[in-house]
């Protein structure tokens, strides 16, 4: 990680002190040189491929300064990128943090941000290896995660074949419900509210993704970051297939009576809500017997099947069909 | 590289079409899966360590929309990060591009940006492997470069020892002169002006860095991105040493008579000017005979020596001494 000034050096020292593991641990993660040099040195494991992914996490676009607690910003910026590694069936190893901050946020805000980041780094076993810092009016974050997967075991988006069954982990729409509650409440989000936790502190499905890859159960996989209606078409496009989804089977958020926010509909949340970071994966028919009902407490639900015809059809109870229209996250669509 | 919408998909297609190499070439760079999946898959070379580095390149902070031609923005955002790999003695292999753009810049500006990026990617033999795009009022760029170096051959900042001679490549201050000319001229910078080219299209010293590492000539090395007065103290701090620099020996920019910008002083430019991306390195006394006067046309100049005492002293002709005060780039210093 580079620093560029005495002041920036102090920020870097804070980052190293509060977010980085000890040198001992860095070596355990394959990192030979971390902070304070031009770049980080990483020792890849023999017989493995390296997974590379990066994610924006920008104030105003991905989080709100007055709604998202700083430690949730720290947790989530790493969790999002780790989820991409999980979606390949890999394991995270280390990450680079690019951080642009106003001077006013280099004290307490930064400390709390780093505290959330460190909790996530420990939870996902992913060590801070380097990064870049600069000053900026707005809070800008970019995280690069480096992961590993045994050679030729990565699960791509492109492997789904007609006849495969389509699965999702967890319950969809929970994070979107959390976001809506956050938007309608005053001040910073509440860390302990179980309804907002899934939005603030998502848990990428690393163990599940790795198990599906190791057991060769999934022919195709991705993480649900922008909502099923946006992400399923991408998996199908990458595989050159279509899908039929049974609406009633989609495991969806349970909306408690006291969480009354106007016009909330669990089906809409489950179809179009983003930020769940659950896994969407296809399983070939001859492997179906091996898929359990749940994995480490996370339900695995078959919601439909892969079809040869390149369209995505929603089947409703009573036989009504409709084509799926994307309703998820789209930064370049000017009106949503 | 992820895309998140039909619109974003078009931007991604443009990026793939204009900046990415063919699949054949990606495989040549060790990349097994590039665009369109959750993450990129990279096959590390046996017997090598992976070098990881990332760099911000932000409108208003690192470049100006109305001064920097889009293709220079594309070239420079990659060149800066590649320079960190060169400074370790490594070779770049692939990179991730995180790009946030206003909708108004997804047409011609993006095309020209990608054209400069592609030229740089070819020049540095570094393939686009993935990234993330989003919409934003300002142009935000973050580049992660992945490089490789033979195991245990990386040259760190921390290896300088008292008695080593201190070298720089090239001439210092050329990029800063280019920036000042750019600031004083109207409209977009001129691609062909040799005085601004060093600022707009820097060439990281990849071949030199690799040669110094392979030949085990450098005990310590870094790239000069923020200016000698800012960067030399970092090399010394990392090595726990000091340095004596002979002012008259610093190879400095030649200021042509027609480039009259008020108050320009070649010595100040050479000491404090940023963005040169030359290499600063230390050579142990028993290896001095091996260092040539130039490498592939780039002059290599000894400017002083490493000392035990942890201070940085500038020796002027006539014997006057002064302590070096940092005057380079410092994003968190509010007044410069």
Q: Which range (A39-43, B28-32, B117-121, B296-300) has the least confidence? A: B28-32
Verify whether the Cβ–Cβ distance B332 to A37 is below 8 Å.
no
Q: Is the pTM of this model over 0.80?
A: yes
pLDDT at A22: 46
Region B106-120 average pLDDT: 94
φ/ψ region of B283 (left if φ > 0, alpha if ψ in -120 to 50, else beta) reads beta
Spell out which residues of chain B touch residue A126, defining contact as CB-CB under 8 Å: none
Residue B133 has pLDDT above 70, yes or no: yes
Residue B99, pLDDT score: 95
pLDDT of residue A195: 83
Residue B96 pLDDT > 60: yes
Shortest distance, CA A61 to any CA of chain B (angstroms): 8
- According to the model, what pLDDT value does residue A149 have? 96
Enumerate the residues of chain B whose CB falls inside 8 A of the CB of residue A230: 4-5
Contacts of A146 in chain B (CB under 8 A): 50, 52
Supply the pLDDT for residue A23.
Answer: 43
What are the tens digits of pLDDT across the range B11-46? 766 776 666 554 445 556 666 655 678 899 988 899
Residue by residue, DSSP assigns A27-66 as HHTTEEE-TTSSSEEE-PPTTEEEEEEEEEEEBTTTB-TT
> What span, in angstroms and rounded, lies between the C-alpha atoms of B324 and B131?
40
- Asked if the model's pLDDT at residue B114 lies above 90, the reply is yes
Tokens of A285: 């028919």
Query: Regarding predicted confidence, which is higher, B172 or A194?
Result: B172
Q: What is the pLDDT of residue A336?
A: 32
Please check the confidence at residue B95 and state whether its pLDDT lies above 70. yes
State the best of B15, B40, B41, B146 to mutate against chain A, taking most chain A CBs within 10 Å.
Answer: B41
Sign of CA dihedral A204, A207, A212, A213: positive
Q: Which three-class secondary structure state does DSSP give residue A177?
A: helix
Helices (H), B128-265: 174-184, 194-200, 206-214, 228-239
Strands (E) located in B59-179: 91-101, 127-135, 140-150, 165-169
For residue B87, the distance in angstroms to the closest alpha carbon of chain A comes to 7
Contact A78, A120 (CB under 8 A): yes
Return the residue in B101, B127, B144, B206 with the most chain A beta carbons within 10 A, the one to mutate for interface testing.
B144
Single out the residue of A67, A63, A16 nearest to residue A37, CA to CA: A16
Quote the pLDDT of residue B191.
78
- How much is the pLDDT for A19? 62
- Averaged over B85-114, what is the pLDDT? 95
- Strand pairing partners for B306? B243
- Of all residues in chain B, the percent with pLDDT exceeding 90 is 73
* Residue in A with minimal Cα distance to B50: A42
Give the residue on B whose Cα is nearest the Cα of A48: B43
Q: How many Å apart are CA B298 and CA B168, to the nearest integer?
A: 10
Quick check: B134 and A87 CB within 8 A? no
Q: Which residues pair with A100 in a beta bridge?
A: A134, A140
A324, two tokens: 């799926």
State pLDDT tens for residues A248-266: 999 999 988 776 566 789 9
Contacts of A46 in chain B (CB under 8 A): 46
How high is the pLDDT of residue B319? 84
User: CA nearest B237 in A: which residue?
Assistant: A36
Q: In this predicted complex, what is the ipTM?
A: 0.91
Assess whether pLDDT exceeds 70 at residue B183: yes
CB contact under 8 A, B43 and A330: no
Cβ contacts below 8 Å, chain A against chain B, sum to 241
The stretches in chain A having pLDDT less than 70 are: 1-10, 12-13, 16-35, 259-262, 325-336
Chain B contact for A310 (CB, 8 A cutoff): no
Of B189 and B273, the one with more pLDDT: B273
- For B103, counting Cβ atoms within 10 Å of its Cβ (0-12 exposed, 13-18 middle, 19+ buried), the class is middle
pLDDT, residue A76, reads: 98
Query: B100 at the A interface (CB within 8 A)?
Result: yes
Q: Is B8 on the interface with A (CB under 8 A)?
A: yes
């Amino acid at each position: 990680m580079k620093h560029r000034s005495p002041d920036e050096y102090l920020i870097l020292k804070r980052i190293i002190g509060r977010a980085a593991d000890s040198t001992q641990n860095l070596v355990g993660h394959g990192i030979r040189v971390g902070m304070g040099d031009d770049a980080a040195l990483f020792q890849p494991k023999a017989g493995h491929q390296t997974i590379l992914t990066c994610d924006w996490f920008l104030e105003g676009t991905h989080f709100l300064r007055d709604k998202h607690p700083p430690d949730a910003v720290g947790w989530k910026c790493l969790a999002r990128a780790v989820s991409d590694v999980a979606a390949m069936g890999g394991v995270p190893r280390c990450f680079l943090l690019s951080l642009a901050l106003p001077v006013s946020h280099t004290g307490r805000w930064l400390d709390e941000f780093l505290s959330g980041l460190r909790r996530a780094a420990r939870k996902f076993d992913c060590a801070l290896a380097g990064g870049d810092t600069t000053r900026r009016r707005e809070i800008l974050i970019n995280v690069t995660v480096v992961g590993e997967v045994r050679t030729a075991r990565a699960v791509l988006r492109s492997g789904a074949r007609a006849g495969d069954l389509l699965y999702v982990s967890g319950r969809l729409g929970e994070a979107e419900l959390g976001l809506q509650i956050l938007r309608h409440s005053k001040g910073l989000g509440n860390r302990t509210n179980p309804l907002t936790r899934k939005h603030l502190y998502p848990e990428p499905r690393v163990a599940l993704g790795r198990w599906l890859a190791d057991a060769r159960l999934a022919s195709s996989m991705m993480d649900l970051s922008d909502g099923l209606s946006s992400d399923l078409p991408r998996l199908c496009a990458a595989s050159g297939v279509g899908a039929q989804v049974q609406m009633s089977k989609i495991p969806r958020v349970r909306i408690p009576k006291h969480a009354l926010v106007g016009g909330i509909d669990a089906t809409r949340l489950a179809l179009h809500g983003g930020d769940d970071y659950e896994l969407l994966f296809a399983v070939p028919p001859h492997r179906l017997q091996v898929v359990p009902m749940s994995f480490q407490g996370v339900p695995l639900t078959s919601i439909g099947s892969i079809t040869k015809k390149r369209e995505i059809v929603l089947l409703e109870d009573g036989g009504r069909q409709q084509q799926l229209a994307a309703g998820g996250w789209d930064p370049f669509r000017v009106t949503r």
